[in-house]
Amino acid sequence: MPKHIVSGLKYLTAVELIRKGLSQKEVAKILEMDRSTVSHYLNGRNLSWNSIEVAEIITKFCPKDFLTLTYALLNNSEKTRIIVKTCSKGNYQAKVEETCIGCGLCADTCLMNAIVLDDLKAQIDSNWCCGCLMCRDVCPTNSIKILEVEDGC
């Protein structure tokens, strides 16, 4: 079953990327799939509706559960961040306060790979933030603020 859920998540991601104007070739490259498989997916072949329904339910989980479950299913950071960011329901603005001590716990925690340390201070790329709040919760100095700014896809 996990394999089928992954297929459903890839299907939803492919549909959304096509809706955003990407070509089937570009989608295939991003999801590391054959172009023909993407085409089959988009035409409803090689995929059960049950897989799509389960995947749709997962995308409606809270951001943390959506992210951690997708990562557990895929065991692949790059594909996880693409699927989660493409299908996430919200957009987030992340901010690091001056109280950051550069411990790096947030960067180690972020499954979206949105955080780097620069000159012993955390920098968050909001474009890749899915609002899971795991960095905020792990920060020993309470230096991270995550704000939901608008609805996404």
Q: Judged by CB under 6 A, which of 54, 69, 133, 153 binds ligand SF4? A: 133
Q: Is the Cβ of residue 39 or residue 68 nearer to ligand SF4 in the bound state?
A: 68
Name the minimum Å distance from CB 123 to ligand SF4.
9
Residues 89-128 that bind ligand SF4 (CB under 6 A): 94, 96, 100-106, 109-110, 112, 114-115, 122, 124
Residues 21-50 that bind ligand SF4 (CB under 6 A): none
DSSP per residue over the chain, as a string?
Answer: -HHHHHHHHHHHHHHHHHHTT--HHHHHHHHT--HHHHHHHHTT-S--HHHHHHHHHHHTS-HHHHHHHHHHHH--HHHHHHHHHHH-SEEEEEEE-TT-----HHHHH-TT--EEEETTEEEE-GGG-----HHHHH-TT--EEEEEEEE--
Name the minimum Å distance from CB 81 to ligand SF4.
8
Residue 131 touching ligand SF4 (CB under 6 A): yes
Residue 129 touching ligand SF4 (CB under 6 A): yes
Query: Using CB under 6 A as the criterion, which residues of the chain lie in contact with ligand SF4 when the complex forms?
Result: 94, 96, 100-106, 109-110, 112, 114-115, 122, 124, 129-135, 139-141, 143-144, 146
